[in-house]
Amino acid sequence: MGLVLTPAEVGKFQEALLSAFNRSELEQLVYLRLAFDLNDIVADGPQRQVVFDLIQWANGQGKVEALLRAAREENPGNVLLRQFDEAISVRPVPPQPTAPRVTKIPRSQLRELVDLLQQVPGAADFAARTAFLAGIPGAQALTRSQSSLRADLDSMVNGLNELGRLATGEWPLLILIDNALGYVSGFALELELQAVRQQLAQAYGEA
């Protein structure tokens, strides 16, 4: 899967690319350095939306590092790109889980979580929901579905549940929910996801 950005990191990368390239320059960058036509990846629209959609596409396709490397080489003097690159390069990589402890979570609770995740803005987009997996070691091994939102979320939630407790002491499903919460701040859905998170934390003995 490669590097997967969190919502906050997507925003920082977006600002950096906006400061470094206009639409024409971005089209050339994507075509010459990544061998893709920008118009085949994102819809036409305001530059901010185009850049956001491009990053989300890269996030879902495992091409964040290639996009960042190409951007840095094409505009090495851009301060925001340099700062973002430096921040990403020192981002701690969670260790792989060893001897995980598995806690039995009722199927009904997992289905409730999937129901809520389907309502997260942008979740219908494969690249966008891939960002829910940021920071979870082992997530790249999950069996995913690009064609079915429900099937993909089912796979993500059940697969992460089976991973058990990570070597860091964290629980994959709690990380997934925390990532999703970044997209629903201020919405009623935020409270519903927080309630499910609290229930899971109690089941894990962390509340």
Q: What is the pLDDT of residues 13-68, one digit of tens each?
A: 999 999 999 999 999 999 999 999 999 888 888 999 999 999 999 988 889 999 99
* Chain position carrying tokens 């109690």: 202
What would the 3-class secondary structure string for 124-144 be? CCHHHHHHHHCCCCCHHHCCC
Residue 2 has pLDDT above 80, yes or no: no
Q: Which of 105 and 50 is assigned the larger pLDDT?
A: 50
* 120 contacts 183 by C-beta, under 8 angstroms: yes
CA distance 34 to 10: 19
CA distance 9 to 198: 25
pLDDT digits (tens, 9 = 90+) for 152-205: 999 999 989 888 888 788 899 999 999 999 999 889 999 999 999 999 998 888
Residue burial 129-139, b: 16+ Cβ < 10 Å; e: rest: bbbbbbbbbbb
Q: What percent of the chain has pLDDT over 90?
A: 60
Mean pLDDT score of the chain = 88
- Model pTM score: 0.54
pLDDT digits (tens, 9 = 90+) for 67-84: 999 999 999 999 999 999
Band of the pLDDT at 97, cuts 50, 70, 90? Answer: very low
Band of the pLDDT at 206, cuts 50, 70, 90? Answer: low
Residue-level pLDDT at 92: 66
Band of the pLDDT at 133, cuts 50, 70, 90? Answer: very high
* Chain position carrying tokens 């998170």: 197
